[in-house]
């Protein structure tokens, strides 16, 4: 994966930069999200009290708010005129990784409540797709700033 990433960065074409940014985004998401799985299982084994529906709604809203902030910061990073286009695009993609990681991690706390877990993980999946589809725009922003 890292060899392909390095090749795409060296090629420097917009399509290669999009692929490299998406790889960086996926890797950053995995680094942030995967530790939540064993921690969630450990927490579930303590048999915590169920979170009430109002708490689930609050967690979903908090996750959406934090995801929005992360995506806004990613967009700002893509427009940074002080960075090289490849660095700005990669920075934006990696700054977007917390957007889906937050609802994913909050969902990991709810292993004992499968419906709530599914809702937060659905939010994480939708946010991941939004960030994934935003990468080409960020690459265009990063390269347009320098041309």
Q: What is the four-CA torsion angle of 118, 123, 128, 129, rounded to 10 degrees?
A: 100
Is the pLDDT reported for residue 13 higher than 60?
yes
Per DSSP, 83 falls in state S
Q: Does residue 100 sit in helix, strand or coil?
A: helix
Q: How far apart are CA 131 and CA 66, in angstroms?
A: 13
CA 132 to chain CA mean position, Å: 8
- According to the model, what pLDDT value does residue 62 have? 97
- According to the model, what pLDDT value does residue 144 have? 85
Q: How far apart are CA 23 and CA 25, in angstroms?
A: 5
**Which pair of tokens denotes residue 33?**
């999200």
pTM of the shown model: 0.91
71-90 pLDDT per residue, tens:
999 999 999 989 888 889 99
């Amino acid at each position: 994966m890292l060899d392909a990433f390095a090749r795409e960065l060296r090629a420097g074409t917009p399509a290669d930069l999009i692929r490299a940014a998406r790889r960086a985004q996926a890797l950053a998401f995995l680094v942030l999200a995967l530790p939540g799985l064993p921690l969630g299982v450990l927490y579930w084994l303590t048999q915590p009290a169920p979170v009430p529906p109002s708490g689930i709604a609050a967690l979903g809203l908090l996750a959406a708010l934090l995801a929005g902030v992360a995506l806004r910061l990613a967009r700002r990073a893509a427009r940074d005129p002080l960075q090289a286009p490849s660095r700005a695009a990669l920075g934006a993609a990696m700054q977007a990784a917390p957007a889906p990681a937050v609802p994913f991690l909050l969902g990991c706390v709810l292993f004992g409540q499968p419906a709530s877990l599914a809702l937060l993980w659905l939010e994480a999946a939708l946010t991941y797709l939004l960030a994934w589809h935003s990468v080409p725009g960020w690459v265009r922003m990063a390269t347009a700033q320098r041309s």
